[in-house]
Structure 1
Amino acid sequence: MSLKCGIVGLPNVGKSTLFNALTKAGIAAENYPFCTIEPNVGIVEVPDPRLADLSKIVNPQRILSATTEFVDIAGLVAGASKGEGLGNQF
C-alpha cells in the first residue's frame, strides 16, 4: 500500500525545496516564479523497524516496505481556476 501526497501552494514558498528534502531528488529549486512547470514525482520508502522483527516470526518470501509518492506541483496563483498563470493543469 502506498500513500500519495501532493505538495501544493503559492509560487516561491518552498514546495520544491520541501520535495527535495523529502525525496533527495535534487530538482531545481530556484527563487523565481514558475521554476516548476511540470510536476515532479518522487517515491520514498517509509522505514519501519518492526518489519525485521515481524519477518523473523512470519518468515515471508519477500518483505515490502510501505512507500509514499510525493508530487511537487507548480505554484498556484489567484485566478488559476480561470486559466491565469499556469491555470489548474496539474
Structure 2
Amino acid sequence: MAKALSIFLILFAFCAGYIFPALAVWAYFGWIWGVVAFVLPVLSFFSSGCLRVIFTIGWYILGAIAVVSLFGWWFVLVLLAWVAWWIIILAILAS
C-alpha cells in the first residue's frame, strides 16, 4: 500500500506541477512559449546556483500567469483547496 501511495504521489505531483502548467502556457501564449514552458524545469533541474533560481522563478511566473489567465482566480483557489485536501488525506493514510 505504501509503495502504491508513493507512486501515486509522484505521478500526481509530476502532472500537477509540470504537465498542467506547461499545457496552460501552451494554450495561452502559443507553441513557442509552450516549448519554453516544457524546457525551463528541465534546465532548472540540470543547473546549479543562480541559473537554477532564475529558471525556477521564470517557470513559476510563466505558469502562474497562464493558469490564472486561462481559468481565473476561482479555479486556482479551488484547485489549491483540492490539492491541500488530498495532501492531508494522503498524509493521514501514510502515517
- What TM bracket, shorter-length normalisation? under 0.3
Higher RCO by CA contacts (8 Å cutoff, separation 6 or greater): 1
Structure with higher strand content = 1
The structure that has the greater radius of gyration is 1
Structure with higher helix content = 2
